[in-house]
Amino acid sequence: MRMSRLYAPTLKEDPTEAELASHRLLLRAGMIRRGAAGLYSYLPLAWRSLRKIEDVIRDEMEAIDAQEMLAPILTDAALWHQSGRWDAYGPELMRITDRHDHEFALGPTHEETFTDLVRNELRSYKQLPLTLYHIQDKFRDELRPRFGLMRGREFIMKDGYSFSATQESLQECYDQEKAAYARICERVGLRALPVVADSGQIGGDTSVEFMAIADSGEAELVYCDDCGFAADTEAASAAVNVVDGEAGELERVETPGCASIEDVSRFLSIPEAATRKALALIDGEGRPTVVFVPGDHEMNDVKAEHAFGEYHLMSDEELEQAGLVKGYIGPVGLPEGVRVCVDVALRDAQWWTVGANEADAHLLHAHPGRDFEIAEDAWVDVICAKAGDVCPTCGKPLSGARGIEVSQVFQLGTKYSEAMGATFADEDGREKPFLMGCYGIGVSRTLAAIVEQHHDEHGIAWPVSVAPFEVEVVPLDVNDDVCWPVAERIAGELVEAGIEVVVDDRKERPGVKFNDADLMGFPYQVVCGKKAIKNGNVELKDRATGERSEVSIDEVSRLVAEKVKAQRS
């Protein structure tokens, strides 16, 4: 491919609307263009990468006997009524009406479609298990479409559905998909963590999200380098390393002006984890409540809503009304009518440092059962896990990271098959609903996530497996009768060897070419300049490492072809 013919309009300046590196660089490298909010065209370079991601997916699906097909994007409203999701999905579901007033939804995901597809023709347990999938555009009227391809209103998804006769078979399909999803991430160059989204009754997971690690990710994660445990901080039950105080008689100490955990811990020279943070709130039933959490942890809003319903933190006025002293609340001698709750992370904490319920004073060695009571129903799970907490699986310290959800596997059970009457005849002759699993990968989001992980200040640095082109040959002067023939020769040899090559044949200055080459980020650059050629060499640059070396003109194509082929997915 000649650069002069390639439709990849690069931008010199950063587009102002782009906050994320992937959004900015995909626009700048001439790979995507915005049509309207959340709607993008994938220009030729992006499309080449997307097809490579899809091919990796196809390959991995083939390996586990999942069969590719294609269902319509438009889905009949009747199906959504049967599953109950026409109403439940809410405004995210894009709905349209045809000329006969018949309603449809633009598929945001296709559980209904696939359940409907098989319900009349997949009849016997002998035909099971079956897994079908397709790769197509999906539509979601996101409240805030943003970050380029990360959160679009139209985006590419691979979604698959498995149908099984037994739970064991569903588990097997699910485990196979989960393993395939991990391999897909690896093959497209993504460092991703499988995060348990849902735990089953018997302890195993029934849903896992694959989170590509990136500072720009929306999810906050903790993970264990040692055993592979990973969880969303909001979902992880806090396995907190609670620091217990020293045993002793209840003791009151003056703590002037120490209304924050930070101040108390400094003043008393104890770690923040040894203090107890008190949060005063009004719970969903209007009850004044004080909840105690480890001093070095925050209460999480989502978890707190689970525990307290539609709660709110007390205002200064409400604190006063309840007889509570802001900054000095403790469990000993609380005013009448204030309920005490305690985060489960404090179950084993026996000696607490807490506020004394009067200004400028704290209590040391407060002991549950002796100095105050914790009712059986007072235990709540409201704090977020964080880096440094202990791994609930192996006890090692957890690391923290942010993540982008690129894919998710899910055991649906009989949710859709029961609602939609999709049954098969089992071995015993009885009609039973299918046990279903669903498996989704955001293909276009994966592209963006790859750029988030593979870029620097100059541009994208594609992993070979998903690079739009594998090598760029850069003749520094196309009018020169030394540079140009060498460039043409090397490009020809590479094409011959089955490598995907772009030759920058533009009459541009070397600086412009170098900048564009780094911006577009093809993995190898072969720079043909007069000086090196005089010595029989060209310069080879590895885009990802920045490493440059002089390589003989006769050797370079063989060497580069070898490198590329070794790194293909």
Q: Which is nearer to Mg ion, 206 or 408 (CB)?
A: 408
Total number of residues binding ligand ATP (CB under 6 A)? 15
Task: Annotate each residue in 378-417 with x if it binds Mg ion (CB under 5 A) or - if it does not, as one string.
Answer: ------------------------------x---------
Give the range of 149-157, 228-236, 462-470, 532-540 binding ligand ATP by CB under 6 A.
Answer: 149-157
Tell me how far, at minimum, the Cβ of 404 lies from ligand ATP, in Å. Answer: 8
Give the range of 271-279, 373-381, 439-447, 544-552 binding ligand ATP by CB under 6 A.
Answer: 439-447
**Among the listed residues 44, 388, 37, 69, the one whose alpha carbon sits nearest the alpha carbon of residue 240:** 388
Please list, residue by residue across 535-551, b when 16 or more beta carbons sit within 10 angstroms of its beta carbon and e when fewer do.
eebbbbbebbeeeeeeb
Joined tokens for residue 95:
């709905």
Q: Is 543 in the site for ligand ATP (CB under 6 A)?
A: no
**Among the listed residues 164, 165, 197, 202, the one whose alpha carbon sits nearest the alpha carbon of residue 178:** 197
Q: Is 408 in the site for ligand ATP (CB under 6 A)?
A: yes
Spatial strand order in the sheet of 94-97: 74-76, 103-106, 94-97
Residue 216 contacts which entry, Mg ion, ligand ATP, none (Cβ below 5-8 A, type-dependent): none
For the four alpha carbons of 183, 184, 189 and 190, in that order, the dihedral sign comes to negative
Q: Is 89 in the site for ligand ATP (CB under 6 A)?
A: no
Q: Which is nearer to Mg ion, 391 or 438 (CB)?
A: 438
Tell me how far, at minimum, the Cβ of 209 lies from ligand ATP, in Å. Answer: 7
Give the range of 308-316, 356-364, 441-449, 536-544 binding ligand ATP by CB under 6 A.
Answer: 441-449
- Please spell the DSSP secondary structure of 149-204, one letter per residue: GGB-SEEEEEEEEEEESSHHHHHHHHHHHHHHHHHHHHHTT--EEEEEEEE-TTSS
Spatial strand order in the sheet of 251-254: 251-254, 361-366, 352-355
Question: In whole angstroms, what separates CA 331 from the centre of its chain?
Answer: 39
Q: What is the SS3 assignment for 97? A: strand
Tell me how far, at minimum, the Cβ of 150 lies from ligand ATP, in Å. Answer: 6
Tell me how far, at minimum, the Cβ of 439 lies from Mg ion, in Å. Answer: 11
Q: Which is nearer to ligand ATP, 168 or 218 (CB)?
A: 218
Q: How far apart are CA 75 and CA 196, in angstroms?
A: 30
For ligand ATP, the binding residues in 388-407 under the rule CB under 6 A are 405-407
Tell me how far, at minimum, the Cβ of 37 lies from ligand ATP, in Å. Answer: 11
Q: How far apart are CA 392 and CA 240, in angstroms?
A: 9
Return the bridge partners of 196, or none: 208
Residues 31-36: contacts with CB within 8 Å, 24+ apart? 31/468, 32/148, 32/149
The residue within the footprint of ligand ATP, chosen from 142, 226, 418, 508 (CB under 6 A), is 142
Spell out the residues 6+ positions from residue 426 whose beta carbon is closer than 8 angstroms to its own.
125, 165, 432
Q: How far apart are CA 329 and CA 338, in angstroms?
A: 11
Q: Which is nearer to ligand ATP, 195 or 238 (CB)?
A: 195
Residue 543 contacts which entry, Mg ion, ligand ATP, none (Cβ below 5-8 A, type-dependent): none
The residue within the footprint of ligand ATP, chosen from 75, 82, 109, 113 (CB under 6 A), is 109
DSSP structural state of residue 491: H
CB-closest chain residue to ligand ATP: 442
Q: Which is nearer to ligand ATP, 42 or 155 (CB)?
A: 155
The residue within the footprint of ligand ATP, chosen from 119, 445, 454, 513 (CB under 6 A), is 445
Question: In whole angstroms, what separates CA 293 from the centre of its chain?
Answer: 28
Q: Is 152 in the site for ligand ATP (CB under 6 A)?
A: yes
Tell me how far, at minimum, the Cβ of 313 lies from ligand ATP, in Å. Answer: 27
Instruction: Write out the residues near ligand ATP by the rule CB under 6 A.
Output: 109, 140, 142, 151-152, 155, 157, 405-408, 440, 442, 444-445
What is the contact surface with Mg ion in residues (CB under 5 A)?
408
